[in-house]
Amino acid sequence: EIIFGDWLWLGIVVLFGLLLVRLISLQIFEGEKYRILANENRISTIILPATRGQILDQNDKPLEDTFANSTLVGFTGEINEQEVGLLRANDKYILKDKIGRAGLQLQYEDLLKGKNGGRLVEVDNAGLVIRDLGRREPVPGTNLSTFIDVNLQKIAFEALKNKRAAVVISNPKTGEVLGLVSSPGFDPNKINQSLNDPDLPFFNRAVSGLYPPGSTFKMVTTTAALGSNKANKNFTVEDTGVLNVAGFKYANWFFTQYGRTEGVVSWVKALTRSNDIFFYKVGELIGPDVLASWAKVFGFGQATGIDLPGEVEGLIPTPAWKEKFKGEKWFLGNTYHMAIGQGDVLTTPLQVNQMTNILATNKKCQLHVANNQMIKPARNAFSI
């Protein structure tokens, strides 16, 4: 019993010794660490979110969130956990902050997004604020002024009647975009529902949609022939209704629909009647490479540089392109199709708008929606 008692007291002494050592360690060696942690738990930061800048029309009124402005304006969404780390530069973003996801909201995110402020406060053990220790006011985002005419937006959108289509309206002398509508649009208040819409309402057809330009391209073919001196203003073609080449038939639309021809066709008649036979022969006269070079003068096959995200370049084919990417030779029929804006020719509605601007003014102006950016000066368009 005596031996057991001795061991018991020894154990008690050792235990108290360990507790004393631990106490000394906590107070002397680790005290500062825990004091810092305690202070950090006592001091908290309350985020003061910055007000996002507004997107304004040409009259400096906010562009409303409608089915008409949706694709142009775009929308915002909350930042998720994966994005915060990538976007945290200068403490500009925090979890659940709003960020532009499409349209002008995305293009001008840096301008529209302000800088969050914060309150440095002392809290009790229940998390209640005891007192303010400091404050940094939020910096509001900057408003974005545009040239958009809301009346034109509404008229264009209603005219499209929710068809898959786009409208671009601009001032040819300045490149200012007065209206840009992609249909169908989306309801900004029903984003999740629109995501599953087969009509792709988030797809901006004006800047990202690729389509054969069709007969609008005949103005390029006309300019290419006259500008390269391959034909003069007195050039005419006899409309035969159909051209037969190596077993293939290339018809004029008037012959296909009504079985009739239009006789001798001049430039004026060819353009007013959109005569395919005339432009088939013009294309044959100038050749695909000359036609392609003039198409690029009008901005086809390259981005316009408009201040909107998602713009695509389109395609102006050439014999070299076809051989490289399709592994096929170029035939006369390919030239015929190219001359009337069909075949492999692909353009955006925005590029067609730019082409008509150039024809109207003989100047190539940078298309732009916002009016507070650096605008590139106009230059003579017809210089290759």
Residue 68's nearest CA partner among 143, 151, 131 is: 151
Residues with Cβ < 8 Å from 244, sequence gap 6 or more? 250
Q: Which of 215, 228, 266, 274 is catalytic?
A: 215
From CA 101, how far away is CA 186, in angstroms rounded? 14
Residue 295's nearest CA partner among 221, 243, 370 is 221
Distance CA 294, CA 316 (A): 10
Full DSSP string of 158-175: HHHTT-SEEEEEE-TTT-
What residues have CB less than 8 Å from 299, skipping those under 6 apart?
351, 354, 355, 358, 364
Of 367, 222, 377, the closest CA to residue 294 belongs to 222
Distance CA 4, CA 15 (A): 16
The closest of 93, 325, 89, 67 to 202, measured between CA atoms, is: 67
Active site annotation includes 215: yes
Question: From CA 302, how far away is CA 355, in angstroms rounded?
Answer: 12
Q: What is the three-state SS of 20-59? A: HHHHHHHHHHCHHHHHHHHHHHHEEEEEECCCCCCEECCC
Active site amino acids: 215
